[in-house]
């Protein structure tokens, strides 16, 4: 349970809020690369409560600007891509990716200043003096945020000063073909989406599929609905272990990672790799769930993934949504799935977290043992918000290459002998593999 003040600090994302200031210290996804094809139109983007325009200049590099022209506010997402930037359709002002105003075609080369007035006025009168050259253009600083494109995503830094180093997470350093990214709209505050990633007990209910008996994970999740939950802090956020009893002298260990400020790496099926759910605030009551699949060992066939997901979403909106009650099917609940909403986990999670309301009121909740991960995660976030207020860099923001190093960012499932300690067990596996390769 949080106080109202804590809940407001945690969930606010807009400019000028403590939570918004915290989020602005990180590189965050602004759009998928596929939304902005080379030579294509600019797109409006709402991010952290700000309305922005994302475009590629003629060199193909992405830029993120305030959507309203600095002259008189026209919508720049309708603008023309030309002459080294984005040109406003109203009076032709031209902006580059850094927000510099390159041209003001209607402004005369010289400016006029009234001898008695404080400000220059554009129409010369008898007492006006010409001032050369015009500095009007140079004085315009249009809101602009730096962008980096990686893993099929355009990331932006919306904070003050120089951006921090782009995080060197393994899934963001991987070759393009080893990563597949898409996103889904969630009509609720981003913290709700992210909390769902750190509550592994819900796998025993929300995601239960009766007919997936061949999947050992499903069997283990159903077989022990009361896992041991063990959160451990890291240099990027948190590890969360969920340990379930299985047969005899073994246990099923899931480790997942919370990545500040709002992403979760969770084990994926089959491949060596994981999925990342990155919950990116649009505003206080909406967020994008970026779903990033990472395979360490083999390229991902993007077409196959797209085919598998076709029919699931349109324009990044899930077909099953609150307006159609997620197409819940009571017959399916009897025979196939616990919740009757199909087999896709993203739908299940969206149903659960949207159901908490647009901004969940955490003053009335009743947290239990299974919420241990969420309790520690909130503590980390509230501490980071406080740090930003005190001028201290929040957890997971690196400005030195030596600190931009995250070898412990993992998410995987393992069946281990009960005498093997679960904390850091994957390190011991790696050591065994390295030792095996040396022999
Ligand atoms: S409003 Fe954009 S140039 Fe005038
Ligand atoms: Fe889930």
Cβ 78 under 6 angstroms from ligand 1: no
Residue 357 phi/psi, 5° resolution?
A: 105, 165
What does each C-alpha distance from 20 to 147, 321, 360, 395, 418 come to in angstroms? Answer: 18, 27, 17, 15, 43
pLDDT, tens digit (0-9, with 9 covering 90-100), for 17-36: 999 999 999 999 999 999 99
Cβ 67 under 6 angstroms from ligand 1: no
- Contact by Cβ (8 Å): 261, 381: yes
Helix (H, G, I), strand (E, B) or coil at 50: strand
Among 222-226, 254-258, 370-374, the minimum mean pLDDT is found in 222-226
Q: What is the DSSP letter of 239?
A: E
Nearest alpha-carbon partner for 46 in 13, 79, 85, 73 = 13
Is residue 230 scored above 80 in pLDDT?
Answer: yes
Cβ 74 under 6 angstroms from ligand 1: yes
Cβ 95 under 6 angstroms from ligand 1: no
Cβ 80 under 6 angstroms from ligand 1: no
Q: Regarding the domain delimited by 27-148, which CATH topology (the fold level of the hierarchy) does it fall under?
A: Rieske Iron-sulfur Protein (2.102.10)
Q: In the structure encoding, which two tokens stand for residue 32, read together?
A: 């998928």
Q: Whose CA is nearest to atom 4 of ligand 1?
A: 91
Is residue 323 scored above 90 in pLDDT?
Answer: yes
Q: What percent of the chain has pLDDT over 70?
A: 91
Domain 167-438 has CATH 3.90.380: yes
- Contact by Cβ (8 Å): 333, 339: yes
In 10 A of CB 69, how many CB atoms?
A: 24
Assign 161 a pLDDT band (cuts: 50, 70, 90). very high
pLDDT score at 432: 65
| Most ligand 1 atoms within 8 A of CB, residue of 77, 79, 86, 90 to mutate | 90
Q: Omega into 342 within 30° of 0, i.e. cis?
A: no
pLDDT, tens digit (0-9, with 9 covering 90-100), for 56-89: 999 999 999 999 999 999 999 999 999 999 999 9
Tell me how far apart the alpha carbons of residues 27 and 13 are, in angstroms, rounded to a whole number.
15
Nearest alpha-carbon partner for 198 in 224, 227, 173 = 227
pLDDT score at 17: 98
What does each C-alpha distance from 23 to 49, 189, 199, 219, 345 come to in angstroms? Answer: 11, 13, 22, 38, 26
Report the mean per-residue pLDDT for the chain: 92
Is residue 184 scored above 50 in pLDDT?
Answer: yes
pLDDT score at 127: 61
Assign 180 a pLDDT band (cuts: 50, 70, 90). very high
- Contact by Cβ (8 Å): 243, 398: no
Read off the pLDDT of each residue in 388-413 and give the average, rounded to a whole number. 96
Tell me how far apart the alpha carbons of residues 212 and 218 are, in angstroms, rounded to a whole number.
7
Nearest alpha-carbon partner for 189 in 70, 267, 74, 279 = 279
Query: In Å, how far from its chain's centre is CA 182?
Result: 11
Assign 416 a pLDDT band (cuts: 50, 70, 90). very high
Instruction: Give me the helices (H) in 86-145, please.
Output: 136-139
Among 63-67, 209-213, 336-340, 427-431, the minimum mean pLDDT is found in 427-431
Read off the pLDDT of each residue in 256-268 and give the average, rounded to a whole number. 96
Assign 223 a pLDDT band (cuts: 50, 70, 90). confident
pLDDT, tens digit (0-9, with 9 covering 90-100), for 138-154: 999 999 999 999 999 99
- Contact by Cβ (8 Å): 63, 97: yes
pLDDT score at 270: 55
Q: Whose CA is nearest to atom 3 of ligand 1?
A: 91
Is residue 110 scored above 80 in pLDDT?
Answer: no
Domain boundaries, the chain: 27-148, 167-438
pLDDT, tens digit (0-9, with 9 covering 90-100), for 342-400: 999 999 999 999 999 999 999 999 999 999 999 999 999 999 999 999 999 999 999 99
Between 91 and 126, the higher pLDDT residue: 91
CA 182 – ligand 1 centroid, Å: 34
Cβ 53 under 6 angstroms from ligand 1: no
Tell me how far apart the alpha carbons of residues 190 and 275 are, in angstroms, rounded to a whole number.
18
Read off the pLDDT of each residue in 166-193 and give the average, rounded to a whole number. 96
Those residues whose C-beta lies under 8 Å from the C-beta of residue 167, and which sit 6 or more positions away, are 27, 236, 396, 398, 404, 406
Q: In the structure encoding, which two tokens stand for residue 48, read together?
A: 């952290």
Q: Omega into 102 within 30° of 0, i.e. cis?
A: no
Q: Which atom of ligand 1 is nearest to the CA of 72?
A: 1
Nearest alpha-carbon partner for 388 in 380, 257, 2, 65 = 380
Nearest alpha-carbon partner for 300 in 161, 431, 175 = 175
Tell me how far apart the alpha carbons of residues 155 and 169 are, in angstroms, rounded to a whole number.
14
pLDDT, tens digit (0-9, with 9 covering 90-100), for 202-221: 999 999 999 776 677 888 88
Among 173-177, 191-195, 215-219, 347-351, the minimum mean pLDDT is found in 215-219
Tell me how far apart the alpha carbons of residues 155 and 177 are, in angstroms, rounded to a whole number.
18
Indicate if 167-438 has the same CATH topology as 27-148: no
Cβ 72 under 6 angstroms from ligand 1: yes
pLDDT score at 70: 98
pLDDT, tens digit (0-9, with 9 covering 90-100), for 264-316: 999 985 558 999 999 999 999 999 999 999 999 889 998 888 888 888 899 99
């Amino acid at each position: 349970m949080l106080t109202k003040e804590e809940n407001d600090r945690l969930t606010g994302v807009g400019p000028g809020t403590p939570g918004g200031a915290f989020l602005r210290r990180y590189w965050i996804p602004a759009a998928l690369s596929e939304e902005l094809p080379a030579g294509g139109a600019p797109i409006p983007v709402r991010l952290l409560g700000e309305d922005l325009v994302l475009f590629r200049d003629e060199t193909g590099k992405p830029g993120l600007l305030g959507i309203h022209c600095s002259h008189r506010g026209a919508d720049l997402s309708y603008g023309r891509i030309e002459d080294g930037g984005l040109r406003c359709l109203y009076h032709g002002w031209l902006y580059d990716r850094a927000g510099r105003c390159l041209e003001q075609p209607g402004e005369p080369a010289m400016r006029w200043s009234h001898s008695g007035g404080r400000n220059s006025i554009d129409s010369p009168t008898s007492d006006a003096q010409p001032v050369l050259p015009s500095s009007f253009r140079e004085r315009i600083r249009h809101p602009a945020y730096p962008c980096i494109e990686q893993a099929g995503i355009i990331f932006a830094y919306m904070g003050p000063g120089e951006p921090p180093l782009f995080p060197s997470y393994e899934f963001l350093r991987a070759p393009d073909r080893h990563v597949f990214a898409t996103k889904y709209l969630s009509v609720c505050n981003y913290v709700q989406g992210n909390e769902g990633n750190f509550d592994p007990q819900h796998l025993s209910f929300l995601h239960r599929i009766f007919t997936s008996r061949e999947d050992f994970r499903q069997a283990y999740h159903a077989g022990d609905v009361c896992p041991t939950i063990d959160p451990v802090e890291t240099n990027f956020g948190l590890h969360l272990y969920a340990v379930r009893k299985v047969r005899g002298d073994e246990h099923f260990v899931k480790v997942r990672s919370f990545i500040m400020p709002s992403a979760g790496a969770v084990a994926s099926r089959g491949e060596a790799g994981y999925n990342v759910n990155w919950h990116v605030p649009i505003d206080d009551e909406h967020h994008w769930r970026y779903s990033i699949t990472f395979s360490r060992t083999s390229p991902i066939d993007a077409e196959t993934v797209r085919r598998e997901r076709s029919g699931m979403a349109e324009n990044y909106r899930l077909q099953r949504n609150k307006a159609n009650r997620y197409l819940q099917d009571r017959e399916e609940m009897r025979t196939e799935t616990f919740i009757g909403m199909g087999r896709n986990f993203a739908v299940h999670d969206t149903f659960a977290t949207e159901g908490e309301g647009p901004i969940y009121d955490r003053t009335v909740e009743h947290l239990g043992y299974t919420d241990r991960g969420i309790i520690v995660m909130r503590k980390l976030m509230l501490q980071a918000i406080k740090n930003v207020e005190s001028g201290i860099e929040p957890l997971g923001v690196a400005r030195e290459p030596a600190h931009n190093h995250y070898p412990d960012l993992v998410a995987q499932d393992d069946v281990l002998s009960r005498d093997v300690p679960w904390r850091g067990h994957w390190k011991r596996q790696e050591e065994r593999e390295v030792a095996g390769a040396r022999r």
